[in-house]
Structure 1
Amino acid sequence: MKKGLNTIFKATAIASMLAAGSSLAAPNTTIYGVLDTGLVYTHLNLDNGTDSTDTLSMGSGISKGSRWGLKGSEDINGAKVGFVLESGFDTDNGAYASAVGNRLFGREASVYASGRYGEIAAGRLQNLTAGFGSWGIAAKIISPFAHGWGGGYLGGYKTVFGFNSGRTDNALAYKTPTFGGATLYAAYSGKTDDLKNASGVENKSSSDRYGGLAATWKHSALTLFGSAEWIAWSNTAAATRKADDGYAFTLGGNYKFAPVMVFLAGQYFDNMNGLPTPYELTRLKKGTDAITKGWGVLAGAMFPALAGTFKASLGYRDAELVNDSDYEAKRISASLAYQYNLSKRTYLYAGASYIRDKMDFGRSETKPSEFSLVSGLCTSF
């Protein structure tokens, strides 16, 4: 795969140099960014004999992940060849965003080519059920909060789903042209994370591998999404060496009853290595075993009011350990947020979220809960 990526990068560079010396087309490059900073209050009760905690802190990327990036493209003989380089960071301390690790372009690093037969991309890309970047297509269709405000401040769909959608290294992705409102997608990664599994070999059982198929369909006020995703777990990692392949099936959509947009989605998942992070208040595991299965549903709405936009969602999840069904986690999640646009690029926001779990560990039961309040400012360039 690395040789293939190097070939693609070289071919793109050669094509760019040839185009620069001809009259085919002028290249187009854009610098862009998002800065989101706010305050977060959290009341956490783990129901484990310890006192509940109250925290107030500054947060980054609460409603949108803070980032800067470069996009460029040019037309070559009727096709478009381009790239996306996107870096995530925290505005409260200037560090790399924790979600992308120690990567300069951890949010996305890709080259692509598109034309009459669709689009193909290669590099560090998003899972098809993610809610950000060029290839994360699901979240904005199935949830008013897209991928979740800032990875856990308010309840996006990952709060109640079981597939931990994010980004993958060494990825190839393809989407078809749109026919009759329908678009098909396919993605594959032979090694999903070079940093966490440096010793793993690409396209071998020593590495986690990912594959996904998805489709979207839009007609008038209705937009639908469906996907089937697969993960072959590394047989060298202690947490997954005995786990079967993981699967997740997601179906959802939205409908606009002007001016209100409603959302509904569901997911079934099996053989997942833990539930999506950082959303677990208490981990569902038995010893070191955290391989889970279950289902989740989410309903939401988005509507204008008070000169701004309100977003609301309500979700439920029922999960258990694959190897011991007495270990269960049931969850309800509710969120409400308000956004007020100061301009086309800048808005104020405020929101509240409540999560309550019922954790059953065979002979014991706990009911941890979390209540959060957020408020901040987001601007883009």
Structure 2
Amino acid sequence: MPYDPGTVLDAGPSAGADPDAFVRAAVAWHFDPATGSRFWLDRAARLGFDPRQDVKGVADLALFPDLTHELRTVPAADLVPRGYGDRAGLLNVFDSGGTTGDPKRVVQLADWMRHSTEQVARGLRAHGLPAGAPWLSVAPTGPHLVGDVLTRAAASLGGPALGVDMDPRWVRKLAAAGRTDEVAAYTDHLVDQCRRVLVSQDVRVLAATTPLLERLAREDDLLDVINSKVEAIVWGGTHMDPDTRFLLSTEVFPDVPLIGMYGNTMMLTGLIERVGSSASDPCVFDPVSPSVFLSVVDPGTGAPVPSGARGQVVVSHVSRSMFIPNNAERDTALRVAPAAGQVGDAVADVAPMATVAGTTVIEGVY
């Protein structure tokens, strides 16, 4: 099967491709010996079913076991589908945050980077973010996906992205050891860097985590600067509970729209908050067919929870470049009907699980 960029697999998210047909094409690609990656071809025999025969559509992604734990040690080159030949365009190898153990790794190829950037920018434009405006992004960079997503989002809207890097693994390590004074000192260090940028630059979009927004709000001078010139705040990384969201939206930053972004490394992108919600409404994130599917399940049985009930979030990423089905996330959420044209569940009021596989989840600053 030669690499044909005109096939359904290159339609990209929200391009109108039939999700079931897309999933069938992706499975055919990833499990064909001529085009699949070493990772999936090596594991095909122990799945207990034949993906190319038994996977008929989106619902059958549940047949796959969650093998993301194996991404902690697999060589990154084994994740690249051989069907690309010399046209893979390998841009990045990203690590997960390591919240529940050693980091997992994924690859970002040029085609998926383009699709991801387009869908994130589309979501931000729907919220009315200013075009050509400078951003300040306070997020993990280096091996972490989110910094790349935010930088490309700013560029896609025509604005420069100024950045303040953070190291979430170090902060989690400090927090786990009870070294709260050092966590506070590191957070102060981030705030000092933000101050230099916010005061000297005409920042119109601020992207930061909930703990950083709360910390910035304690600085009267920065609060005045943000409320006087920032036109939108994009928050993500750590969760934001409904009370905090309401307080930040109505009292702390009353004239600056807060826009949530939910994503992670295994998703390989970010989902932008549904347009039209008030500060008192649940913050809802929709799937992005045909590449990012969400489901909310009972963590004990794996069965879908009733609509409006809380369960564990399961994410499947399906694209030409990567295939990560049935990944049980460290998050819980309320199950919500998706927006028109999307397949699977939407999620609302995302929050971390207390423990995952016996490991306590520590969010820290991210």
TM-score range, shorter chain: under 0.3
Give the TM-score of the pair, scaled to structure 2.
0.28
Q: Which has the higher strand share?
A: 1
Q: Which has the higher helix share?
A: 2
Work out which of the two has the higher radius of gyration on C-alpha atoms and give 1 or 2.
1
Q: Which has the higher contact order (CA 8 A, sep 6+)?
A: 2
Give the TM-score of the pair, scaled to structure 1.
0.27
